[in-house]
Structures are given as C-alpha cells and as structure tokens.
Structure 1
Amino acid sequence: MPKAGDVAIFKVKDIGKHNRIQSTNGNNKYILPGDLIMGAFGNRYATEQMEGYVPDTYHNSYHILGQGGAIGILKSIHTKFELVGPTTLSLIGYLVHENGEVINTKYLNDEITTYKSIPLNTDPKVILSLGTSMDSGKTTSAAFLARGLKLAKKKPAYIKLTGTVYTKDKNMVSDYGATISLDFSHFGFPSTYMCSTHELLDLYQNLIDYVKPYNPDYIIVEIADGLLQRETYALIHHKNFMNKVSGALFSSLDSMSAIAGADMLTELGCNVIGVTGLFTISPLLVDEVKQKSNYHVLTEENLTSKEIIDTLNKKINYLEFENKMAVNS
C-alpha cells in the first residue's frame, strides 16, 4: 500500500491535463505516452485544479495530481478541465534503498545543515500571507512585500508552509528579493494536504530554524488556499502558532471577501496589516473596501515601495504596545 512520499517509477498511459512535469533542475519537461517518469505519491487540494489522494490499495491506473510530480488518485477536477481529464499512469515499481526499503521523500532528508557562527536576529518578525482561495494573490503579495523590504534595506525570508510541490512560488519570491526562499518540499513533503496539525507545526518549526541562520529581519510565511481549507483553518485557529505571528497580509479576489476574510482573522485576534490581492487591480473594488471597512488596502505600488516598512512598523508596534498594556493591566 503506497504512503505519501513514497517514490516510484510510472509509465505514462494517456495524456490529460498535465502534458509536462517538472524535472530536478526546475525545468518543465514534456511527456508522452510510453515515457517513464519518477514521482512521489501525495495528496492534493486545489480548488482551481484537482482534488486527489494517495490510495489505500493498489490500482491499475494512477493520476498526475500536480506538475511538480505528486501522484495519486483523482477524486474531483475543476469543470474547466473535465473534458481534458487527468494524465494517467501505470505503476512500474518503487525506488528502494539497498536494504529493500521503499524510498520516501518525507524521511529521505536527514541532512542537518550547519552554519558558521554569525550574529543572529533572534526575533525576526513573522508575516503571514493568507487569502480567500487558490489564485487570490498570496504568492504575488508575498513577492511584492519581499521587494519592498529589500528596497528598505531589510532582509526578508520566504517560507511556503503548505501546498502541493512545485517550485514556481518560491522561485518567484526569491527573484523579487527574498534572502532565502523555500517550502515544505525541502523536508520531503510532496504535499501537505491531509497532514495533521502536529505534523504541520513540526514542519513549520523546522523551516523557521532553517532560515534563521540567514539572519532575516522578516519571515514571510505563505499558507496555501483559503481560510476554510482544512490545514489553513487548523493553523489560524491554533493559538500557539498565531501568537508567534506579528501580522498578516490578506489577499482576495473581490471586495466582499476581502472584508469578510479580514474580519474572520481579526475575530481570531490576528493583526491584519492590510488587504491586498487581485481585487486591488480594480479601482472600484478598492474604493468599496476603503468605504466599507477600516482595513488598509495595499496595492502592488504600496507593497513594492520601501515605504512599506513604515506600514509594517506602525501596525506591528501598535499590536505589541496593545499586548504589553493588556499584560500589565
């Protein structure tokens, strides 16, 4: 029975949605029926793409769930891809260690990276990048923020905590200015869908520990999908996790969800630094948010400007002052 992270060789049977797969160097390679590819079993939750799971029994056919190489059994697919369907594969065999044990990416990375002793910023500010759903602008907002912080002479780091393996997001934020940019796959996760909250918190701590030696001033942590998605919902409702967060950017597709999502975070005690995302390309939607709420709208121009540091300082310092007053009262 396959497990999430198990690595195997598959033969391409029929081409559907995925006609390419990402190779080890990050390039996307076209695949054709009859080709042999290597992938890892993994679950996927993607509202604009596919929902799929690692099966609990062997199957005659498997499906490519993500271009990064996550393989499983499709459960549902977005209507726009129904006619195309998934790319189907047959299992050839597992990759194994010398002792015959199946190689699993989640347990493969036992490397403990050591760094030269350098003065560390022991208290970098953690900024969450959250949103209403897939493709609401979370990664783009994170990249814009990284650019603005770099222009402000600050060192931003980027972590994508949840999602399905694919290097596009971390590469984008790195290009925009992150000192280090990595995601859950660094520790062998083909995806984080259906992980326990305890496992996610352990993963988060390992990712934080990994970036801290780079001495970042800010760590931008992106959590995939929307606030109601299984893992996202669990994390934002976990007090110990949220207590270590300085604030959040909230990305949305429209004005109503921008306000509703930010309200939800505020009710949970989260410091919403600003609302952003795809809705900010529409002046009408921006005006609606400004007129119907007190949330600060952050456009691309705002986030990529070095003045964004003033917004962050104002929002974060005000929260810290409030928390200090609450403790002393």
Structure 2
Amino acid sequence: MTLSDTLDQAKWTFSTRRVDRARVAATDTNFAAAKPGDLILAHVDKLGQHQRVQLPSGRPSLIFPGDAVVMACGARYAPDQFEGIAEIDPAGADLLAGGGCIGRMVARNSRIKPATRLVPAGRLLDGGGRAVNLSQFALSPRPAAPRPPVIGILGTSMNSGKTLATARLVLGLRRAGFRVGAIKATGTGAFGDFNEYSDSGAQYVGDFTDAGMVTTYLEPLDRIKAATETLIAEAGHRGCDIVVMEVADGLLQRETAAIIADPWFAGLISGLVFACGDAVAAAGGVSHLSRLGLVPDALTGLVSCSPMASAEAQAATGLTVLTKEDLSDPAEATGFALRAGLGRREAA
C-alpha cells in the first residue's frame, strides 16, 4: 500500500482539521526529532481509556487495533485523566486525548483506564523533507484594529462548569441580539467544547488549535498570549460584537496561573465569570483572584445546581450565583454586555 493510500484510509483527528493534506509527501522515523504540533501517523495497538477518536467532521469514530490514525505530537495536563509530554517513543506511544494528541503518559488518574497504546509508523514530511506541523496552518495575525470586548470564564478545576457557562452566556448574548465570538484560549484540542459553542449560536468559534497548537500545556506564555490575541482579532474580523473566552483547567494549573497573574489578562477582559463546585471553592477562588486584582462579576458552575450551596457561596463572597438558565437569559446577558461597554441591541 502506498503512503497516499495509507493516509487516505487513516482516521485524521480533530486537531488536524486545518491541515492541507496535499502538503504531505513522505514520512520518516526520526521520532526523537518530533516537536509539539508535528503530525504523526500511528497504528492502534491496544485499546485503553480512549476507544474513539474525534474526526475533523465533528463526530467521534470508534478505533480498533490496527487502525491508522493521524495525530499531532503534544503534551497534556488533565487531572481527571492524564498528564503527558510531547515525546514519541518508536516502541510505543500513548493516545493522550481523543481529539488527536499523541505523546508519552507520565501520570494517570487512578479512576480511569491506562492510555490507549499506539505504534508510531512515521512522522509526516512535506516535499522539502520538513516535518508537517500544525503551526504551518495557523491563522495569520490580523492588523491592529479595535477588538471586541471579552468576557473571561475561569474555574476552580476541570469539570467545574466553565464550558457550560461559556456556551450559555453565548446563547444569552445571541438571544439579546449580539453577534458573539466564542474562543477557548487554553487546553487540549477536542471538539466537545468547540461544538457546544457552535450549537449555542456563536458567530465565530475558535481555539488554540486554530493558532497552531494541539495543546497549550508547556507552551511559552508569550505564545499563548499571542494566540489568544489572534483569536480575538479573528472574531472581530468576523463581525463579532463581543467575545466569551474560556480558560481551561483550574486557577492553579501552570498555564492558567501564569495567564491570570499577568497584567495583560486584566487588561484583556471586560468581565469575568467564575465557575466552581461548592461554597468553599467559591470562597477560596475569589480570594485568590482578588490577590491578583481580579474580581468576578458573578459565580456559576456546579455550585449553582444547589440553592443551598448557592446561598452559602453568595454569603461567603458577596457575589451573585447564576444558573445556566440565568446565563441564557437575554436580559442577564445584556447586563454583561453593558458592563463590557456595549450598547443595547434589538433582541434577535
């Protein structure tokens, strides 16, 4: 079977969705030279935690031993699943994320299965013998222009309710008549959040994979900041009035901690929503943010599912707790837009 046939039959993952496949001309097995973002052709060896991969089309695909898959070399930090680094061992590698991140697992949450094992077959090269990398297909920075205001969404941890809050605030703003951009500034490439933003009616959806990174874990802060600026500028270019921006993981995660401690972040956002699981998390998170000069406009997340927990959180922080229904409400969303500096628009 030719390389072209193999690549045609392979399952290309979500993280590769911007790649021009015609650029691939050859492969090599110099895996020691693989860098974050390099495309890797691998075969499924033994199924573990991930038994599906996410396709660029936006649907999941079952994988089976022997299947060929194209992914990007990358790291991952997910306390609920794995920590992994961007290394490719020719004897065997790990599927770190179903969106298409291959690397070496270094830690695993004990509640989940070991990583699905992969056998690397080749590093994809272009006609000049250079590694094909996601960065080659990234959005180009836009010329300086007035950027839309940004509402940031932070949380205490994975699965604290950040993505739902982002999507529901997008929905509320869209119902209020605003053209909304939704971006994910950090994390590991996957279509779940991307699709949820789109389903909520965002006019533009983008994430760090559009800026050339399969993951932001262990990436330099300056690169993440530049990527975020590019995504916000792209949303403005697409006609968005306002942007809702999710920052992945919790306040103490490496990249998130660096971002929110940088004065750049405070200058970037015009509003802030904090997602948390309970009143103690709310009090601790708000206190931590205040030391950085950041004051949330409201709390949300899992805490909002319980009226009792919400009352505790509000008493501890003095902040209103918003449910997903509140965030979806055009009147509530318009309040965020007004605080961000936008005038009222006719409801859609």
Q: How high is the TM-score relative to the length of structure 2?
A: 0.84
CA 1:240/1:251 → structure 2, altered by over 3 Å: closer, same or farther? same
Between 1:166-175 and 1:239-248, the stretch displaced more is 239-248
Aligned equivalent of 2:179, options 141, 146, 155: 155
Corresponding position: 1:239 with 2:259: no
Aligned equivalent of 1:180, options 201, 204, 212: 204
Match of 1:73?
104
1:179 deviation in Å? 1.1
Corresponding position: 1:97 with 2:121: no
Match of 2:85?
53
Name the SS of the counterpart of 2:154 in structure 1.
strand
Task: Give the counterpart letter for 1:145 in structure 2.
Answer: L
Aligned equivalent of 1:109, options 123, 127, 138: 138
Aligned equivalent of 1:88, options 108, 117, 124: 117
Corresponding position: 1:15 with 2:54: no
Judge conservation of contact 2:38–2:134 (CA < 8 Å) in 1. Answer: yes
Name the SS of the counterpart of 1:285 in structure 2.
helix
Name the SS of the counterpart of 1:169 in structure 2.
helix
1:111 deviation in Å? 6.0
CA 1:109/1:311 → structure 2, altered by over 3 Å: closer, same or farther? closer
Aligned equivalent of 2:320, options 274, 280, 296: 296
1:225 deviation in Å? 0.0
Match of 2:75?
43
Please list every run of 5 or more consecutive structure 2 residues that lacks an aligned counterpart in the other structure.
1-31, 342-348
How many positions carry a matched residue from both structures?
A: 309
Q: How high is the TM-score relative to the length of structure 1?
A: 0.89
Judge conservation of contact 1:273–1:315 (CA < 8 Å) in 2. Answer: no
Match of 1:284?
308
Share of identical aligned residues, percent? 33
RMSD (CA atoms): 2.0
Please list every run of 5 or more consecutive structure 1 residues that lacks an aligned counterpart in the other structure.
115-119, 318-329
Matches within 5 A, 1:256-295: 256-295=280-319
Aligned equivalent of 1:229, options 224, 246, 253: 253
Distance 1:50 1:313 in 2: 37
Match of 2:7?
none
1:213 deviation in Å? 1.3
1:17-64 CA-to-partner distances (Å, cap 9, x unmatched) read 111111221221111111111111010000111110012x74411000
CA 1:233/1:206 → structure 2, altered by over 3 Å: closer, same or farther? same
Judge conservation of contact 2:276–2:300 (CA < 8 Å) in 1. Answer: yes
1:172 deviation in Å? 0.4
CA 1:314/1:36 → structure 2, altered by over 3 Å: closer, same or farther? closer
Name the SS of the counterpart of 2:330 in structure 1.
coil
